[in-house]
Structure 1
Amino acid sequence: MTDPQPSLVRRARQFLFRSAVGSSADEEGNIFADYVVVFRYPVVGVSDASRAEHEANAVTAFRSFLSKLRSVRLKYEVRYGEKNSLLVFVLCPWERLKTELYRSRINDWLTGVRIADIDDTGSSSVITNALTESERLRLVHEIVTGAVEEGGAGVVPGVDPFVESLFPLHDEEFDKVGWARRDKGIIVKLMDDVADPMT
């Protein structure tokens, strides 16, 4: 009887559960990833003769991908996805994010987008209060997909072998108090304003 899991999955176990602990943990100590990368290694259409070579290429690409994440100081955890895929949960530690935020704000200031002075004290409370969730996700996306020459990992879905997609996790807390529920009256008013001219 053959093992139902491809050998890539068996070999990938050595990469499992490298997670970070710290500022990204909530009150219960749960850690939430910033992004998920889908690493898919299809075996459909691969002949038995070339299957070993295909799996070796997938393992090499996976190791290279994880090496890119480590090179920019990102943390990750690998889980099984659908058949022939792995989900890589990517977490950006606070120190790495703070560096990227400072660099981004300097760039904004130099290009005239930001007119306020840059706080060079590095006070985490000042930076944290000014950092929105969308800006955090944008910065982490830039770290993951940015060019290696610019300090990014250079991971691009569709370009990197077997890297299928990159997406942020769904924020359930935002849904509970999101603008769509909180400002239902505004939505109704907007719908009325749009409907009135048409009648």
Structure 2
Amino acid sequence: MMLAWKISPCLAAGNTVVLKPAQVTPLTALKFAELSARAGFPKGVINILPGKGSIVGQGLCDHMDVRKIGFTGSTEVGKGIMKSCAESNAKRVSLELGGKSPLIIFSDCDLDRAVRQSLGAVFFNKGENCIAAGRLFVERQIHDEFIERVIEEVKKMKIGDPLDRSVSHGPQNHKAHLDSLIHYIKV
């Protein structure tokens, strides 16, 4: 999803693309490159460079021939990217940083739909995406009922092998994210 959001406008404008996927999730981008080649994209139009951000990402930020950087991730890393881009060739930068998209649920909502869509927004891709609903604000009049329904639905979720179509929630993609989630559960 993120890959398509980032690459499509660049290609539509006639540009080539160099994409450095997140270090812990390179396989989708590599598969996309393979499928693009099979579909007939010319060599060099779509380029995937997996690796550490501190090496590959930094190299892209510092490279004088790169004219624009788009980054989705933490505010701390985004600040470093902006600085590097300014110091190299003052390249353009688009940053999506620290997203914690809120959902606001009012008492006049269709409660079944609100619960269903909230769960989708929170748990889509195991919550590992920049548009995951990191905050839910529920109007006081329906708060308790909303929470009860969410708990009922979460209990129905099957956790396990992500290749099993009956599974709702596979493993987190790296231990640091799992540890962060466990911390927030405890809080």
**Is TM-score (shorter-chain normalized) higher than 0.5?**
no
Which protein shows a greater Rg? Answer: 1
TM-score normalized with structure 1 length: 0.22
TM-score, normalised with respect to structure 2:
0.23
